[in-house]
Amino acid sequence: MKNHELMIRAFANAAEHIGESHLIVVGEGATRPEIETLIRELNIGDRVTLLGERTDVAAILPAMDIFLLSSNSEGYSVALLEACASGIPVIATDVGGNSEIIAHGERGLVVPPGSVDAFGAAMTDLANDEATRRVMGSKAREWAANHGTLSTMADRYRAIYSDVTGTPC
């Protein structure tokens, strides 16, 4: 579902255009052996770190320049909300609520799902444009503060329930 293969292939294609960039993958799952094999096959092992499962993601995020989400399917991604709250521009596939959270060109870039070329081009563009990353990261943090908090989302749910039931919640 998270399509790490897409992210890794796109990074391998973009690597020659993005200087000393390093890909850090957080999380653990059944596909790790296949991911490790792919990294070896693409000869990018010196530029990719698989951190595995972590409980300190909030502490890791501020060290990142770009947050990547290459999913084939999503709902309303909490990971994207966390990245935005940390002030990190995002590259995400156009699935689920990703385009609503990111708003292509505002808080990051949204690319077609499954497109290695589009994902790699987006990586290249953002990796090589620090000013744009700063602006997008700032907009992401501001958006998260205004739209991505638990209280804001609870207020929206209450409004929906009130509309549906015709009574205030």
CATH architecture of 4-165: 3-Layer(aba) Sandwich (3.40)
Q: What is the pTM of this model?
A: 0.88
Q: pLDDT tens, position by position, for the chain (169 residues)?
A: 899 999 999 999 999 899 889 999 999 999 999 999 999 999 999 999 999 999 999 899 999 999 999 999 998 899 999 999 999 999 999 999 999 999 999 999 999 999 999 999 999 999 999 999 999 999 999 999 998 777 877 877 888 888 888 888 7
Q: Which two three-digit tokens encode residue 52?
A: 């595995």
Phi, psi (5° rounding) for residue 60? -80, -40
Cβ neighbours of residue 69 closer than 8 Å, sequence gap 6 or more: 2, 77, 79, 80, 83, 90, 91, 92, 93, 98
